[in-house]
Chains A and B, each alone.
Chain A
Amino acid sequence: MTQPMATPSTSAPSAPAEWVHLTSIPFAGGTVERYRLPNGLLVLLHEDHSAPVVTYHTWFRVGSRHEKPGKTGLAHLFEHLMFNETEGLKAGEFDKKLEENGAESNAATWVDWTYYYESLPKERLDLAIKLESERMSRLVLREPQVASEKDVVANERRYRVDDDVEGAASEVLYKTAFTVHPYHWPTIGWMEDILAFTPEDCLNFYRTFYAPNNAVVVVCGDVRAKAVLGKIAKAYAHIPASHIPPEDIQPEPPQREPREVTLKKPTTSAKVYVAFRGPAFGDVDHATLTVLNEILFGGRASRAHRILVSEKEMATDIRGWVSTFTHPGLYEMNVTARPPHGAEELERELYAIVEAVKAEVVTQEELDRAKARLELSLLQSLDTAGGKAEQMGFYETMLGDPAGAFRRLEAYQRVTVGEIRTAARRYLQTESRSVVRVLPEEEGPDADADGASDAAEGEVAE
Chain B
Amino acid sequence: MTIERLEVAGTPVVVERDPRIPLVSMSFMFRTGGASDPQGKDGLLRLMLRGLRRGSGGRDALAFEAAVDALGGEMSAEVFTSSCGVHAQVISRNLEPFMELVGQMLGDPRFPEEDVRRLRQESIAEIVDARDSDRELANLALRRGLFGAHPFGRLAAGRVSTLEKLGRGDLVAAHQAHVRAANMVVGFAGDITAEVAARITEKLIAGLPAGPAPESALPEPVQAKGRRLFFVDKPERSQTQVLVGRLGTHARDVDHFPLVVANAAFGGTFTARLMREVRSKRGWSYGAYARLALERARHSFSMWTFPAAESAAECLALELELLGAFYKEGITEKERSFFGKYLSRSFAFDIDTAQKRIGQALDVDTLDLPADFYSSYRAHLDAVTREQANEAVRARLSPDDLVIAVVGTQATLLDAVQKAIPDLAETTIVPFDAD
Interface residues of A (CB under 8 A from B): 1, 28-29, 50-53, 92, 95-96, 99-104, 119, 121, 124, 148-152, 154-156, 158-159, 162-166, 266-269, 298-301, 306, 309-310, 313, 316-317, 336, 338-339, 365, 368-370, 372-373, 375-376, 379-380, 382-385, 441, 452
Contact = CB atoms under 8 A, between A and B. Distances in A.
Contacts of B355: 383
Contacts of B22: 1, 379
Nearest to A316: B125
B72 A375 contact: yes
A113 B73 CA distance: 32
A267 B71 CA distance: 38
Contact of A310 (B1, B118, B282, B341): B118
A310 B62 contact: yes
Given A155-B283, A155-B285, A298-B69, 8 more contacts: A29-B20, A102-B346, A152-B286, A300-B53, A338-B122, A372-B70, A373-B69, A376-B73
B20 A376 contact: no
B285 to A, nearest CB: 6
B72 A376 contact: yes
A358 B430 CA distance: 49
Contact of B353 (A148, A166, A383): A383
Contacts of A121: 345, 348
Interface in B337-351: 338-339, 341-349, 351
30 contacts: A51-B352, A52-B348, A95-B269, A95-B271, A102-B346, A119-B349, A124-B345, A154-B283, A155-B283, A155-B284, A155-B286, A155-B307, A159-B286, A163-B134, A163-B238, A164-B132, A299-B69, A301-B62, A301-B66, A309-B122, A310-B62, A316-B122, A316-B125, A338-B121, A338-B125, A379-B21, A379-B22, A382-B21, A383-B21, A385-B352
B279 interface: yes
Contacts of B131: 267-268
B280 A92 contact: yes
A380 B66 CA distance: 20
B352 to A, nearest CB: 4
Q: Which 9 A-B pairs have the closest CB atoms?
A: A102-B345, A151-B283, A301-B65, A372-B72, A102-B346, A51-B352, A369-B69, A158-B239, A301-B66
Interface in B259-310: 269-271, 276, 279-286, 306-308
Given A104-B346, A163-B134, A316-B126, A148 B280 contact: yes
A149 B283 contact: yes
B77 to A, nearest CB: 12
B190 to A, nearest CB: 9
B237 interface: yes
Nearest to A165: B132
Q: Which of A124, A300, A373 has the most CB of B within 10 A?
A: A300
Contacts, number: 180
B420 interface: no
Given A28-B20, A372-B72, A102 B353 contact: no
A365 B21 contact: no
A149 B352 CA distance: 33
Contacts of B21: 1, 28-29, 379, 382-383
A103 B433 CA distance: 41
Contacts of B349: 53, 104, 119
B129 interface: yes
Given A51-B1, A372-B72, A384 B66 contact: no
A103 B343 CA distance: 10
B280 A102 contact: no
A156 B70 contact: no
Contacts of A317: 126, 129
Interface string B93-130: 00000000000000000000000001001100110110
Contacts of A149: 283
A372 B98 CA distance: 13
Contacts of A365: 66, 70
B284 to A, nearest CB: 7
B53 to A, nearest CB: 8
B105 to A, nearest CB: 13
A288 B203 CA distance: 40
Interface in B134-193: 134
B50 to A, nearest CB: 11
Interface string B210-243: 0000000000000000000000001111110000
B237 A100 contact: no
B238 A372 contact: no
A309 B129 CA distance: 14
Contacts of B62: 300-301, 306, 310
Contacts of A368: 70
Nearest to B94: A372
B325 to A, nearest CB: 19
Given A104-B349, A372-B70, A266 B235 contact: yes
Q: Which of A50, A52, A383 has the most CB of B within 10 A?
A: A383
